Amino acid sequence: MYILKTAASFDSAHFLAGYNGKCANLHGHHWVIEVEAGQETLQAEGEKRGMVIDFGDLKKAVRALADSFDHALIYEAGSLKAATLAALSDENFRMIEVPYRPTAENFAKAFYEALSADGLPVLRVTVYETPDNSARYEV
Q: Which residues contact 56 (CB under 8 A, 6 or more apart)?
A: none
Which residue in the list 34, 36, 76, 129 is annotated as catalytic?
Answer: 129
Catalytic residue among 27, 30, 71, 138: 71
Instruction: Give the distance, in angstroms, between the CA of residue 35 and the centroid of all CA atoms in the same chain.
Output: 10
Catalytic pick from 23, 27, 30, 138?
23
Contact 125, 115 (CB under 8 A): yes
Concerning whether 23 is annotated as a catalytic residue, the answer is: yes
Determine whether 71 is an active site residue: yes
Say whether 14 is catalytic. no
DSSP 93-132: --EEEESS---HHHHHHHHHHHHHHTT--EEEEEEEEETT
Q: Give the DSSP letter of residue 45.
A: S
Q: Which residues are catalytic?
A: 23, 71, 129
